């Protein structure tokens, strides 16, 4: 008798009830849900890191541009949208607010997707070290 035939006869002799199929029917949706939860959480944090970096970079570049007196007008919102264009996997940008105060530029980005949402706020100081170093405008 061949090896495979012996195995088939061996399994036929046992009384197989099919309980493994029933157990897997209950367990597989749990594994699938866990896998999807991990994937969505990974996408969420990926988008959060991308937005935090882009908002921080936009605030820093905006502070540098504000410090220079002879620069042309620039659109910081356009600059931010260029940095995040095509990089977000899961979230959609809802609102971008950019504030220019006396000494600080603040970039705030709100994103959401269904019930998940978050806000990223980054700011940068507008420093003018040349005034202190060179004693400009001192009396």
| Confidence (pLDDT) at 101 | 86
Q: If you write DSSP's letter for every residue of 31-60 in order, what string do you get?
A: HHHHHHHHHHHHHHHHHHHHHHHHHHHHHH
Measured distance CA(4)–CA(2) in Å, rounded: 6
Phi, psi of 12 (to 5 degrees): -70, -30
The predicted-structure confidence for 35-70, as pLDDT tens digits, reads as follows: 999 999 999 999 999 999 999 999 999 888 887 766
Count of CB atoms situated within 10 Å of the CB of 123 = 17
61 in Cβ contact with 75 (< 8 Å)? no
- Tokens 């009830």 sit at which residue? 17
Token pair for 44: 């969420």
| Confidence (pLDDT) at 25 | 87
Q: What is 3-133's CATH number? A: 3.10.450
Where are the chain's structural domains?
Answer: 3-133
Low-confidence residues of the chain: pLDDT under 50: none
């Amino acid at each position: 008798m061949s090896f495979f035939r012996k195995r088939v006869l061996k399994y036929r002799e046992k009384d197989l009830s099919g309980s493994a199929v029933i157990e897997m029917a209950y367990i597989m949706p749990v594994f699938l849900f866990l896998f999807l939860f991990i994937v969505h959480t990974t996408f969420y944090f990926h988008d959060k890191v991308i937005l935090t970096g882009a908002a921080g970079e936009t605030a820093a570049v905006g502070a540098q541009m504000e410090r220079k007196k002879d620069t042309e007008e620039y659109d910081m919102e356009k600059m931010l949208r260029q940095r995040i264009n095509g990089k977000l996997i899961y979230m959609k940008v809802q609102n971008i607010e950019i504030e220019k105060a006396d000494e600080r530029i603040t970039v705030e980005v709100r994103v959401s997707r269904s019930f998940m949402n978050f806000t990223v706020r980054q700011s940068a100081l507008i420093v003018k070290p040349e005034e202190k170093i060179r004693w400009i405008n001192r009396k």
